[in-house]
Amino acid sequence: MMKLYFSPNACSLASHIALQEAGAAHEVVRIHFDRNEQRSPDYLAINPKGRVPALVTDRGVLSETPAILAYIAQTFPEADLAPLHDPFAFAQVQSFNAYICATLHVAHAHLRRPTRWADAPEAIAELKRKAPEVISASFAYVEHDLLAGPWVMGERYTICDPYLYAVGRWLEGDGIDPARVPKLMAHRAAMESRPAVQRALAAEAA
């Protein structure tokens, strides 16, 4: 059985939802960031990055959300979570998830954890000043250029959707006015009507 290490309100929610959508046998283990458990020797032995998610499989440990999502889609093809037989369409899925991982999430982290990149108080202040502008531009790009609707790729639900949902839950906390991103808000509502999403949220709240 696979084991997913997660933290509430983190991007690990995307992998959790995908496991639920796939009907995959799994268990979840909560990592308490407020207790600094991500830096504990036990967890670092699993994921030396000290981040979530980490997915323990029978072949080893996977980290990084795009990789985990692709693995779930390919391991459970019957769940139809990605266009696995269309190389271009699958590349589009990967491109979207890479953007979320490498750009939008990083912008969010500059706001929430600026000490990863700077030590000087004035540098940290500048990062926190600039980050909302970058975050806003990133979400605007998703809203206007990447989110086809109703799902990220259009009529087909894919592994892009749980990832967008996970980071989209940060909108208000990152200072984004929901009225400026109606497609993102409609996507959030559609996601929250899905039983797999409800199961994942309930499990993480337990």
Q: Are residues 74 and 113 in the same domain?
A: no
CATH of residue 54:
3.40.30.10
Q: Which residue has the higher pLDDT, 206 or 80?
A: 80
What pLDDT does residue 36 have? 93
Residues 97 and 49 in one domain: no
- Residue 96, token pair as written in the block: 């979207």
Q: What does pLDDT average to over the chain?
A: 97
Q: Which domain holds residue 76?
A: 2-80+197-205
Backbone dihedral angles phi then psi of residue 78, each to the nearest 5 degrees: -65, -20
93 and 49, same structural domain?
no
**Whether 97 and 186 share a structural domain:** yes
Q: Work out the pLDDT band at 206, boundaries 50, 70, 90.
A: confident
How do residues 49-78 score in pLDDT, each as one tens digit?
Answer: 999 999 999 999 999 999 999 999 999 999
80 in Cβ contact with 91 (< 8 Å) = no
> 108 and 142, same structural domain?
yes
Could you tell me if 168 and 201 lie in one domain? no
Q: What is the pLDDT of residues 90-138, one digit of tens each?
A: 999 999 999 999 999 999 999 999 999 999 999 999 999 999 999 999 9
In terms of domains, do 72 and 128 share one? no
Long-range CB contacts (< 8 A, 24+ apart) of 104-110? 104/135, 104/138, 104/139, 104/142, 104/167, 105/11, 105/167, 107/131, 107/134, 107/135, 107/138, 108/135, 108/167, 108/170, 108/174, 110/134
